């Protein structure tokens, strides 16, 4: 039996920094760029029992991991250990894969009957090109659309589309869909999406070593939405994998059945109130320079702590501007959309000046202003998420002529400025979140 699940990347169009605080919300769009995870049963020799899961990412060099797993006593969940395999070279660690595997198998073990064994499987991870700046060398199989980047994962240049959140979400969703009967987990249902969201949030935070705002996982599960973060205390009760009753705590948190108020999910996700007017799409421009997001967030939060009154006034005003942008996006009034983008960017620049952080650097200001003025059909844009030099996102007419004009403008811009590489990604804004896929669409090389 084979199963395939995909999950989208994200772009935080509005609400960077604000989304860290439950008082405020973020406007996050899912993207057409997806990470795909395929699960296949492993046939063992007659009479031979194995407890091994193989994970392979064929688009990168040396990206294969073997894991052993076993049930821990006293309801401690499923313990996952990386195996050396047959290579003489020590295997690299992939904390997102290993943690997602441990959390997913732990939850699955609480749902399956005690008599039913978790069978060995092989998982294949595939990513659309837009997640990486590295030029594709070829395709991984002759009949696939997935590129061989011919580098290791450490050498890959990410474009900032939320690859780790999309990976953990698709990986978790694929395991749940493969091992559990549809009566226990159905990805197409609201309940199924809620289970996936809660479990993926827990695994992603554990892999990161901290509790983040979670907007990236929310977009990977639900797609485009207005997002209000969950209270970090919800996950603080889980404890360490393998500890006594860890599996019971995971099930309680994921199913949202705890009797403790501080352990109940309070995230708010509105996925039906955001859209883009017909004929337009959000397009991403990768700026391959790089920003230190962690350092930027730290500085902004220090400013907020040192100036609580001034920062609150600015954040309240920015929240209003963000809400106006969300409303304007679906309107047919082009001037309203352009004005809404301008209002958001004005407040972002104010926050950058006050905190001393280049949230919308002068170079990005110049680029967004220039492309909006020069290319017909571009209504506006922002530096998304935490800001910096990584990317810009534009709202533009969704047709070949406009896309061609943007590409020509960016080539001219690079030639004149000679400051990094700026290119239009294939990824566009998309409403849909995680979904089951037909294994056959991946080609014969991945069909079994």
Predicted confidence at residue 448, as pLDDT, reads: 63
Predicted confidence at residue 227, as pLDDT, reads: 97
Ramachandran angles phi, psi of 411, nearest 5°:
-65, -45
Predicted confidence at residue 261, as pLDDT, reads: 74
What are the structure tokens assigned to 154, written together? Answer: 């450490």
CB 420 within 8 A of CB 287: yes
Distance CA 111, CA 181 (A): 10
Distance CA 386, CA 299 (A): 11
Task: Provide the 8-state DSSP code for 101.
Answer: H
| Low-confidence residues in the chain, pLDDT < 70 | 44-49, 85-91, 288-294, 419, 447-448
> Which H or E element spans position 430?
strand 422-430
Helix axes 246-255, 190-208, angle to 10 degrees: 130
Predicted confidence at residue 89, as pLDDT, reads: 59
Most distant CA atoms of the chain, gap in Å: 70
Helical ranges in 180-292 per DSSP H? 190-208, 215-222, 233-236, 246-255
Predicted confidence at residue 289, as pLDDT, reads: 58
Domains and CATH numbers, the chain: 2-271+432-446 (3.30.230.10), 280-429 (3.30.70.890)
Count CB-CB contacts under 10 A for residue 206: 21
Distance CA 397, CA 428 (A): 11
Predicted confidence at residue 86, as pLDDT, reads: 56
CB 150 within 8 A of CB 59: no
Distance CA 72, CA 79 (A): 6
Residues 6 or more apart whose Cβ sits within 8 Å of residue 262: 231, 233, 234, 237
What are the structure tokens assigned to 93, written together? Answer: 């660690």
Return the HEC string of 301-329.
HHHHHHCHHHHHHHHHHHHHHHHHHHHHH
Predicted confidence at residue 286, as pLDDT, reads: 86
Instruction: Report strand pairing: 52-56 vs 121-127.
Output: parallel
Instruction: Report strand pairing: 78-83 vs 64-71.
Output: antiparallel
Place of tokens 């049930």: 71
Q: How far is CA 115 from CA 72, 106, 110, 112, 269, in A?
A: 15, 15, 12, 8, 37
Q: Is the dihedral of CA 141, 145, 135, 59 positive or negative?
A: negative
Task: Provide the 8-state DSSP code for 413.
Answer: H
Predicted confidence at residue 47, as pLDDT, reads: 56
Predicted confidence at residue 163, as pLDDT, reads: 94
Ramachandran angles phi, psi of 267, nearest 5°:
-65, 150
> Which H or E element spans position 367?
helix 362-374
Name the β-bridge partners of 121: 41, 53
Angle at 365 between CA 220 and CA 422, to 5 degrees: 60
Residues 6 or more apart whose Cβ sits within 8 Å of residue 293: 385, 386, 388
Distance CA 101, CA 82 (A): 11
Chain centroid, CA 418 distance in Å: 31
b/e map 413-436, b = 16+ CB within 10 Å: beeeeeeeebebbebbbbbebbbb
Predicted confidence at residue 45, as pLDDT, reads: 60
């Amino acid at each position: 039996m084979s199963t395939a699940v995909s999950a989208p990347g994200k772009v935080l169009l509005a609400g960077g920094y604000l989304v860290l605080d439950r008082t405020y919300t973020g406007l996050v769009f899912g993207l057409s760029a997806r990470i795909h995870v395929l699960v296949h049963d492993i046939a063992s020799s007659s009479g031979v029992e194995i407890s091994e899961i193989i994970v392979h990412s064929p688009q990168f060099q040396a990206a294969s991991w073997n894991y052993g797993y076993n049930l821990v006593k006293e309801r401690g969940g499923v313990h996952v250990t990386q195996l050396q395999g047959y290579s003489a070279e020590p295997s690299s660690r992939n904390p997102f894969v290993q943690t997602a595997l441990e959390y997913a198998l732990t939850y699955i073990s609480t749902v399956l009957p005690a008599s039913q064994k978790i069978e060995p499987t092989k998982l294949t991870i595939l990513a659309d090109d837009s997640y990486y700046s590295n030029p594709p060398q070829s395709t991984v199989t002759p009949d696939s659309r997935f590129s061989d980047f011919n580098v290791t994962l450490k050498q890959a240049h990410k474009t900032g589309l939320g690859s780790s959140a999309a990976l953990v979400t698709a990986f978790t969703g694929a395991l749940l869909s493969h091992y559990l009967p549809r009566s226990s987990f159905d990805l197409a249902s609201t309940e199924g999406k809620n289970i996936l969201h809660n479990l993926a949030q827990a695994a992603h935070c554990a892999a990161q070593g901290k509790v983040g705002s979670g907007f990236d996982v929310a977009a990977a599960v639900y797609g485009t939405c207005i997002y209000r973060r969950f209270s970090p205390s919800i996950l603080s009760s889980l404890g360490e994998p393998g500890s006594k009753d860890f599996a019971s705590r995971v099930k309680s948190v994921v199913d949202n059945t705890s009797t403790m108020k501080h352990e109940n999910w309070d995230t708010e996700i509105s996925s039906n109130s955001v859209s883009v007017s017909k004929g337009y799409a959000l397009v991403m421009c990768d700026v391959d320079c790089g920003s230190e997001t962690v350092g930027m967030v730290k500085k902004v939060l220090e400013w907020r702590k040192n100036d609580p009154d001034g920062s609150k006034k600015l954040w309240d005003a920015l929240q209003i501007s963000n809400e106006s942008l969300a409303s304007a996006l679906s309107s047919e009034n082009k001037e309203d959309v352009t004005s809404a983008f301008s209002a958001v960017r004005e407040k972002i620049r104010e926050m950058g000046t006050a905190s001393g952080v280049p949230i919308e650097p002068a170079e990005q200001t110049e680029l967004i202003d220039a492309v909006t003025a020069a290319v017909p059909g571009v209504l506006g844009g922002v530096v998304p998420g935490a800001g910096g030099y990584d990317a810009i996102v534009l709202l533009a007419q969704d047709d070949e002529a406009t896309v061609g004009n943007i590409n020509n403008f960016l080539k001219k811009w690079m030639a004149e400025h000679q400051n990094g590489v700026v290119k239009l990604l294939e990824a566009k804004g998309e409403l849909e979140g995680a979904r089951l896929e037909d294994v056959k669409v991946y080609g014969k090389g991945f069909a079994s």
